[in-house]
Amino acid sequence: MYQIAIVIFDEFTDIDFFLMRDILGRTTTDWTVKVLGTKPSHRSSLGMTVATDGHVAQVADADVVLFSSGYKGVPAALADPEFMSALKLDPSRQLLGSICAGSFFFAKLGLLDNISATTHPDAKPALVAMGVEVEDSALVINGNIATAGGCLSSLYLTGWIAERLFDRAKRREIHRQLIPAGQADVFDALIESSIASAIR
Amino acid sequence: MYQIAIVIFDEFTDIDFFLMRDILGRTTTDWTVKVLGTKPSHRSSLGMTVATDGHVAQVADADVVLFSSGYKGVPAALADPEFMSALKLDPSRQLLGSICAGSFFFAKLGLLDNISATTHPDAKPALVAMGVEVEDSALVINGNIATAGGCLSSLYLTGWIAERLFDRAKRREIHRQLIPAGQADVFDALIESSIASAIR
């Protein structure tokens, strides 16, 4: 069983978290999903309280570590020594992914030095200011590090994870229940091309 | 200010609810969103506890009423006299929408008599068994009643609401933050054609 960790903090963006959590959480074989944070629960931007399954330091034990976003939450977490010092990540043995401003954590940790990345278009200037080369792409993959921009890019990020851990069939399986009725071919082509064009 | 009600119950499908809730909840002008149920809070399929803003009987006061889905939750709610008797809906003055098995409520209330509808492909046989003509479409719109199938069809359902209450600009505005970076044109075309082809 692979272990997938999703990292949250106060004022995380609802949809960025819930979309990843639900897509990945429907799978009860093959991997487990843990939601990690610095507190027993964190509140979302819209006021949802989400319980964590453990402290963020447990990211070190995960095969996959995913970071949610947050317009207010990310800057606060970046400034939190407890949060940042707990982020022992290793892209040589872990798959690392972020949605929207989640890529700021990778930037702060130096993981985006010399590689390009993406984020939500509204957050691009702030990521550029951190010294990162930012592309206007839904997904940018450099080895084991994938950054995604725009909430629905969760589709591509989770699809990449399923393909890296298993294969395309697994990717289709985890998305099957989400795809609009009658549009399986449209979305399959969109997801496949978005992942393929993301690899640097 | 328009009032939008989203109806939940125990064992609702996480993504079907959270996607609608987040897309519509980012708007702080133009409309308010209330989450209604029979209890102070309801638990999702994945164990999230969501507080309600009022009793489901308040659907009568809303301009728009949206129903989330739930593999186990919908059958239980359909069998709950308190829940079903509170659903005083009026498609002559309200916009009514459902995602996936949410359309079962409309069927039970007789609102789909003589019109076609959609649901999640996995739930199609059950909706057919209720006497409904089911289409393999992402969205089916008959007057003020819209049914959607497949979680991501929330995009089309919420887009239809924004267009009916306001216009296309409003639809683009509520989706802007969700659209994958660099794919605005792709999604605009997909959303526009899905809504246009849904009208019966």
Q: What residues of chain A lie within 8 A of the CB of B153, using their CB?
A: 180-181
**What residues 51-80 of chain B have any CB closer than 8 A to a CB of chain A?**
none
ipTM reported for the complex, 2 dp:
0.93
- Specify which residues A144 forms β-bridges with: none
pLDDT, one tens digit per residue, over B43-84 is 999 888 899 999 999 999 999 999 999 999 999 999 999 999
Whole-number pLDDT of residue A87: 97
Instruction: Kindly determine whether residue A181 and residue B150, on different chains, have CB atoms separated by under 8 Å.
Output: yes
Q: At what angle do helices B154-165 and B168-175 cross, to 10 degrees?
A: 140
Residues of chain A with confidence (pLDDT) below 50:
none
Q: Does B188 touch chain A (CB under 8 A)?
A: no
Cα–Cα distance list, A59 to A43, A106, A142, B74 (Å): 20, 13, 20, 36
Q: What residues of chain A lie within 8 A of the CB of B21, using their CB?
A: 14, 46
- Phi, psi for residue A25 in degrees, rounded to 5: -75, -15
Instruction: Kindly determine whether residue A19 and residue B23, on different chains, have CB atoms separated by under 8 Å.
Output: no
Give CATH superfamily name and number for A2-198: Class I glutamine amidotransferase (GATase) domain (3.40.50.880)
pLDDT, one tens digit per residue, over B118-130 is 999 999 999 999 9
Whole-number pLDDT of residue A59: 98
Q: What residues of chain B lie within 8 A of the CB of A155, using their CB?
A: 152, 180
Nearest Cα residue in chain A from B150: A180
Whole-number pLDDT of residue B26: 86
Torsion sign (Cα): B119, B121, B123, B125: positive
Whole-number pLDDT of residue A47: 86
pLDDT, one tens digit per residue, over A39-95 is 999 999 988 889 999 999 999 999 999 999 999 999 999 999 999 999 999 999 999
- The rounded percent of chain B whose pLDDT value lies above 90 is 94
Rounded to a whole number of angstroms, the distance from the CA of A86 to the nearest CA of chain B is: 26
Instruction: Kindly determine whether residue B150 and residue A180, on different chains, have CB atoms separated by under 8 Å.
Output: yes
From first to last of its 200 residues, chain B has per-residue pLDDT tens of 999 999 999 999 999 999 999 999 988 899 999 999 999 999 999 888 899 999 999 999 999 999 999 999 999 999 999 999 999 999 999 999 999 999 999 999 999 999 999 999 999 999 999 999 999 999 999 999 999 999 999 999 999 999 999 999 999 999 998 999 999 999 999 999 999 999 99
Cα–Cα distance list, B138 to A151, B148, B194 (Å): 20, 5, 7
Cβ neighbours of residue B83 under 8 Å, at least 6 residues apart? Answer: B9, B38, B56, B77
Domain boundaries, chain B: 2-198
Instruction: Count CB atoms within 10 A of the CB of residue B186.
Output: 16
- Which H helix or E strand runs over A145? strand A145-148
Instruction: Select from A25, A148, A181 the Cβ nearest to the Cβ of B136.
Output: A181
Whole-number pLDDT of residue B48: 86
